[in-house]
Chain A
Amino acid sequence: MARFGMVIDTTKCVGCMDCVVACKTENQVPEGYNRDWIVQDVQGKFPTVEMEIRSERCNQCSNPPCVSCCPTGASHIHEIGGVVLVTKDECIGCKACVASCPYDARFIHPDGYADKCTFCIHRVEKGLDPACVSVCPTHCMYFGDLDDPNSNVSQLLRSRKHHSLMPEAGTQPNIFYLT
């Protein structure tokens, strides 16, 4: 079975937020909310500074606490690509998943249900890249099947240094950052 993931090249990302804007327009994310965001990780003292810029979102974890804690089964793992999704109509807005996510990736949509990045499954099922990936002006984001050794994402992970976010949380995140 496919395991969808993203590989994001932090050496090229300029933190422009195009990925954030694209997600908003593609998915009609309401004003004041967003499914992805930018982190500028600054280390050191001026002028000996280093900065890693990351486009972050739900890590589409293979061991997602937000799914195991959901009392209604609204949060679930989709049969295609292992994407973590929420069935709106089954969600009671109890916020258990929001609290359980170590990445703070979820929010309660003004319409009352838990919302977050869907890996743009509606696009992926049509053979398109997620909106954020397809818009990025620096071409620093890659989307693909991590279980397929020949996919671009698998190849990048084999050839480049990378890390993921809070692997120690045991969530098995599927987004990787090239450094």
Chain B
Amino acid sequence: MNSVSRRKFLKISGATIGVAAAGTALLKTTQALSNKAAKGVQTIPTYCDICFWKCGAIAYVNDGKLWKVEGNPLDPLSNGRLCPRGTGGVGAHYDPDRLKAPLIRKKNRGEEQWVEVTWDEAMTYIAEKMQKIKSQYGPEGVALFSHGIGGNFFKHTMKAFGTPNISAPSFAQCRGPRDVGFRLTFGEDVSSPERTDIKNAQCLVLIGSHLGENMHNSQVQEFADAVGDGSTVIVVDPRYSVAASKAKYYLPIKPGTDLALLLAWMNVIVSEGLYDKEYVQNYGFGFEQFAATLQQYTPEWAYPETGIDPDVIRQTAREMERYKPATLVHPGRHVTWYGDDAQRSRAIALLNALLGSWGRKGGFYTPVSMDVPAYPYPEYPKSEKGKVDNPDHKYPFAHETITNGIREATITGKPYPIKGWFVYATNLMHALPNENETIKAIQNLDLMVVIDVIPSEIAGWADVVLPESVYLERFDDLNVEWFREPFVGLRQPVVDSPDDQKPNWWMAKKLAEKLGLGHYYPWKHIEEYYEHRLSAAGLSYKELKKNGIIRGAKQPIYFDEGVPAEFPTPSGKIEFYSLQLQEAGFDPVPKYKRPTSGPPGSFRLLYGRAPVHSFSRTQSNHILMDMMNENEVWVNAEIAARLGLKSGDYVRLKNQDGVVCNKVKVKATERIRPDCVYMVHGFGHNSRMLKFAYMKGASDAQLLTRYEVDPLMGGTGMNMNFVTIESEVA
């Protein structure tokens, strides 16, 4: 596979804005702030970290105490308005259950028994173990799991150490299949933030994507704009989501059959000649073969699969045609559902291709970025063994590291042993399916380090826990974002950390020094690093520090504005028919496979997001927990009545493998199909260190013992579990 990620995206030189480089004299005055003495209200710009969207924010400090956080009006991601989690971000600073000091395990793994140690002791311990692993197994024997921009410096230290095994669940447990499906079709990722032009879409199709509950700020703002402008919204979801309540068409699809619907839509669009013929003619490859395979997928064929009326399939397909190319079939984000997710995502890409929406206003724009050069570090050592996660390219289209591949290698020792895990800011116990496999892998380790702000479940399994400052207390890497317009954002400390927490850059640098890799950190303080990179880009750190954001000039983002219509696929065109899939032994045009059904009397377990929480990392934030302090299991009202359940009753869910979750409240509702139940992900913590969140609600992740691996890219389809409902005697 050729690696083309973002290579052709427009690069905008920061120098075009004409700002002179700042002098280094500035550094002396800009070391970490201390606001303890300050009186009155101070405002400090930074960027948010309650999720990975990285919205520009302005923090208010009143008499030295953190008061509130608002959006930074200069920031194109937030447009001056944060999402509820960002607004509630102050709760992260005040969280009493935060990790406070470095910890070393004193009993068995998972027993959560610790001794507090100094930073030096912790780092010495880790470095010694790493060196031992290196001498026995090579540097590749250490792997990093990371989430969000905060992981950048640990990635750097790991690469300097010599391991290529650096992964994030955001690929194989989230958006990976989507990016693979789109790469196979257009040659490029959807990327993050998504390049979806929602605000200009005149017709928006959401398939399982529950914007409004899933609170990616810019997308939700644009969704509301589109709704306000009267755009046609089509929602496909087994659950009547918030987005469904804004839709002109709500298609209550049978779970797992989306690909059948997509094929039928394409059948209608092709057979009725509704596609963008000029676009397909100019940019398409293999259209004839593609069209021929579609013939079998009539709406009548799709009906028994999906439960969607053939007339509705035709009507919605024509509606999409009516607004093309400003029809956006949204690719979603967390799409690891059924194990055929890359092919389903490819079908979404193909439908967009038929509508001519890629590269067009109201479809997918081409993201732009500032050209801020990377810091000129020494070259990393080259790994002889290569990555561990994907031996023999078993998953030929995985273009990022597969977390579950590392887990597998850690269990089996093949293709080579993994003996050290670093886990940065991702609660693997809730992110990866089948927690027993994760535990099994951990038991094989010689070193397990968790770096986080809260003691999530994964921290309980660590040998060493390193407490990180929350985002409002630390500097972080520059956010040089790829978005609608170029900008750079700065995260900077607003208040001091309350205890012995440290920022990630400090830890990663200290660790490198302990490992004798200090030369990979030629700067003393991260502000020196900023200065270097920004002045190389002709930007002023002083300005960035003052405003939090530096914006570049707007640039063309659509084909019609002059962005070259290039498709870095093997054919250089949009691949309606994929020879590279065919050569690798896969279907060149996606084929539908009926999903497995559960035992009689069981319900498919679906999960999703709530607007006031991010994964499993916000349940100890008291402000956000005041909004929602436990999750509920959504049960169709009629089913609930049949089972003698009403809203507010506590039940337990038992999955097909006999795993029973913590007790959870029933929400008996008309908003879900009778064949599935739904939960918000992230609750049901069983880390005893999370005193406040402990056993509030239930963990969907615990019930995800089964998963189906995507043969194209190794992602884990997780909507494969079935549960029965057992009432909980009060």
Enumerate B228-277 residues with CB–CB distance to A below 8 Å.
228, 240, 242-246, 250, 252
Contacts of B69 in A (CB 8 A): 25
Contact partner of A26 among B68, B671, B674, CB < 8 A? B68
Q: Give A contacts to B, CB under 8 Å.
A: 9, 11-12, 14-18, 20-22, 24-26, 31-32, 34, 42, 44-47, 49-53, 134-140
B residues adjacent to A (C-beta < 8 A): 67-71, 81-84, 87-88, 90, 211-213, 215, 217, 220-221, 223-225, 227-228, 240, 242-246, 250, 252, 611-612, 622-624, 626-628, 636-637, 669-674
What chain A residues lie within 8 Å of B211 (beta carbons)? 14
- Looking at the assembled complex, report how far the CB atom of B226 sits from the nearest CB atom of chain A, in whole angstroms: 10
Rounded to whole Å, the gap between the CB of B95 and the closest CB of chain A is 12
Asked if A17 contacts B673 (CB within 8 A), the reply is no
Residue of A nearest to B253 (CB): A47
Cβ-neighbour of A135 out of B70, B215, B243 (below 8 A): B70
Residues of A contacting B243 in the complex (Cβ-Cβ under 8 angstroms): 14
A140 to B221 Cα, complex, angstroms: 10
Question: Shortest beta-carbon distance, B79 to chain A, in Å?
Answer: 8
Contact of A46 among B67, B245, B252, B622 (CB under 8 A): B252
Min CB distance B522 to A, Å, is 40
Highest count of chain A CB atoms <10 Å: which of B217, B228, B627: B627
**A-B pairs with the 6 shortest C-beta distances?**
A14-B212, A138-B224, A47-B252, A16-B611, A51-B245, A18-B84
- How many residue pairs, one in A and one in B, have C-beta atoms under 8 Å apart? 123
Residue of A nearest to B210 (CB): A14
Please give, as numbers and ranges, the residues of chain B lying within 8 Å of A47 by CB-CB distance. 240, 250, 252, 673
15 more contacts with CB within 8 A, not counting A25-B87, A46-B636, A52-B245, are A11-B228, A14-B220, A16-B212, A18-B84, A18-B87, A21-B623, A22-B68, A24-B88, A42-B670, A46-B252, A47-B252, A134-B81, A137-B221, A139-B224, A140-B224
A31-B622 in contact (CB<8A): yes
* Chain B contact residues: helix, strand, loop or mixed: mixed
B81:A136 contact, CB within 8 angstroms: yes
**Interchain CB contact under 8 A, A21 and B250:** no
Q: In the assembled complex, which residues on chain A have CB atoms less than 8 Å from the CB atom of B82?
A: 18, 135, 137
**Nearest-neighbor residue (CB-CB) of A29 within chain B:** B626
**A45 contacts B220, CB within 8 Å?**
no
User: Are A12's CB and B624's CB within 8 A?
Assistant: no
Interchain CB contact (< 8 A) of A12 among B70, B215, B228:
B228
Residues B213 and A14 in contact, CB atoms below 8 Å apart: yes
Q: Within the assembled complex, what's the spacing in Å between the Cα atoms of A140 and B227?
A: 11
Q: How far is the CA of A166 from the CA of B83 in the complex (A)?
A: 30
A44 close to B670 (CB less than 8 A): yes
Could you say which residues of chain A place their CB within 8 Å of the CB of B250? 47, 49
Contact for B212 among A15, A34, A42, A45, CB less than 8 A: A15
Residue of A nearest to B66 (CB): A25
B224 surroundings in chain A (CB, below 8 A): 12, 14, 137-140
Give the distance to chain B from A168, nearest Cβ to Cβ, in Å: 26
A154 CB, nearest partner CB in chain B, Å? 19
Task: Tell me which residues across on chain A come within 8 A of B242, comparing CB atoms.
Answer: 14-15, 51, 53
Known: A25-B67, A46-B637, A137-B81. A17 touches B220 (CB 8 A): no
Q: Are B612 and A17 in contact (CB under 8 A)?
A: yes
